[in-house]
Every structure is written in C-alpha cells, then in structure tokens.
C-alpha cells in the first residue's frame, strides 16, 4: 500500500513539474514574442552584423527575463513595484532607446552614402570584430530589458496572477501569493522560461539570418542595410517617445 501511495505521489510530482515547465515556456514566449525594442534591435543587428550579434542581444534579454522569473516567485514584487524604481527605469530606458535610435539613423546615413569599396573594407573589419560585437550586443540586450518598465510589469503583475491560476486576494502581495503556490515549481518554471525565450531568439535570429543572405552583397546589400537601420531607428525612437510619455505621466502622478 505504501509503495502504491509513493508511486502516486511521484506521478503527481512529475505532472506538476511538467505543468510548471509548460507554464514557464508560455511565459517566456509571452515575454519574448511581442514586437518591441528588443525584437527590433535583434532584427537590425542580424541584418547588419549577422546571426551572432542578434542572438547575443536576444540572450542578454533572456538573462533578464529568467532573473525576473526567479524574483517574481519570491516576495520582491512590492519592493520593485515602487514609483521611484519605475521612474528610474523609465527615465534610463528612454535615454537608452533614444541613443540607440539615433545611432541607427546615423548608421543608415553612412550605409546609404558609403562608397562600395570603402563599404567592403568596413565589412571586412567588422567581421574581425565579431566577438567584440557579440559582447556589446549581449550587454545592450541586458540593459534594454532591465530598463524596460513593461518587462517589470509583466513579470511582477501578470506572472504572480498566473502562479496559482487566480488573481491574488486583496491585502496579499503578489510575490507572497506566488511564492506560497509556486516556490517548489521554481526550477522547472525557470527552465521553461529559458527554453521559451531562447527558442524564440534563436528561431527569430535564424530566419533573419536567412533573409540577410538572400539580400545579396555589395551595393544592393548596403541599401537594404540602410533601409533596415532607418526603419529600426525610427521604431526605437518611437518606443523612446512612448517611454518618455509614460515617464512624464508617472512624474506628474508622483509629484
């Protein structure tokens, strides 16, 4: 009898573990797929620098998503969901998006006006710096995701409500509710978040890498890069404006 009970408990534990893994994968995809600054920048970097640069930026974002997934299962929601924290993140995130957007537009202008021979030499030099470019892309992905208030809201508002399948009761912090219900599922859920976000990043980067090769080389490729940089820069500046509007509204609400 004891053996039967033990077997049933083991089956139940495995079932709960797989459910946590599936939930984590769904959350990871939910955080990674929506069109936003990170996906725009992944696309631009894959088209300009190749698969490694775009994937590295995406993996930087994955690092933050997994980190937030861990924190969201503990009592950190009340600590991080503070006006001062959100204002700081929104302000720094706005500046970062503005900087990246301007850099994209500058790169677009250079790509459009550069002589084909100089462009070939520039591409050769860039290839020799691929490792450095990947590291910079990873750090950029970290900062873009870490300083995005919407990322914080996703992991500390949406995720706690999903932790038990219901919205936390009034008077309970989101972190406390989730830690009680999902603390034992944390490892499997984090693995799921990792698999979901990495799967999207690698799949998205691979598809764009194929498109990059289809764009050809030489003058034609430079024009496509200029177009990608211009569109990416405009999109990043647009996200920066939205972030600035949100920052201003929060400032008025707090002050």
> pLDDT tens digits for 54-93?
999 999 999 998 888 888 766 666 666 677 777 787 788 8
Higher-confidence position of 232 and 221 = 232
Give pLDDT, residue 138.
95
Give pLDDT, residue 117.
42
- The domain spans of the chain are 2-254
Kindly tell me the burial class for residue 190, based on how many C-beta atoms sit within 10 Å of its own C-beta (0-12, 13-18, 19 or more): buried
- How much is the pTM? 0.72
Q: How many CB atoms lie within 10 A of CB 112?
A: 14
- At 108, list the tokens: 């677009």
50 dihedral zone (left: phi>0; alpha: psi -120 to 50; beta): left
Alpha carbon distance, N-terminus to C-terminus of the chain: 65
Structure confidence by residue, pLDDT tens digits, 151-187: 877 777 666 655 544 444 444 444 444 444 445 567 7
Structure confidence by residue, pLDDT tens digits, 100-145: 889 888 888 887 776 544 444 444 445 445 566 889 999 999 999 9
């Amino acid at each position: 009898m004891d053996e039967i009970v033990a077997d049933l408990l083991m089956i139940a534990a495995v079932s709960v573990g797989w459910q946590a893994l599936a939930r984590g994968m769904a959350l990871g995809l939910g955080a990674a797929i929506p069109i936003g600054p990170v996906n725009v920048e992944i696309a631009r970097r894959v088209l300009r620098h190749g698969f490694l640069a775009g994937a590295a930026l995406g993996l930087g974002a994955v690092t933050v998503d997994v980190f937030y997934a861990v924190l969201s299962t503990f009592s950190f929601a009340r600590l991080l969901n503070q006006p001062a924290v959100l204002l700081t993140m929104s302000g720094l995130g706005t500046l970062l998006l503005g900087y990246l957007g301007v850099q994209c537009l500058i790169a677009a202008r250079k790509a459009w006006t550069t002589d084909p021979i100089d462009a070939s030499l520039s591409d050769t030099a860039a290839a020799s710096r691929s490792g450095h470019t990947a590291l910079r892309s990873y750090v950029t992905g970290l900062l873009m995701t870490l300083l995005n208030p919407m990322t914080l809201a996703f992991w500390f508002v949406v995720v706690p409500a999903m932790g038990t399948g219901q919205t936390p009761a009034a008077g309970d912090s989101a972190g406390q509710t989730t830690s009680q219900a999902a603390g034992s599922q944390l490892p499997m859920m984090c693995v799921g978040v990792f698999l979901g976000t990495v799967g999207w990043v690698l799949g998205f980067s691979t598809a764009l890498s194929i498109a990059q090769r289809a764009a050809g080389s030489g003058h034609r490729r430079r024009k496509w890069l200029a177009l990608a940089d211009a569109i990416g820069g405009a999109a990043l500046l647009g996200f920066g404006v939205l972030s600035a509007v949100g920052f201003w509204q929060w400032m008025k609400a707090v002050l």
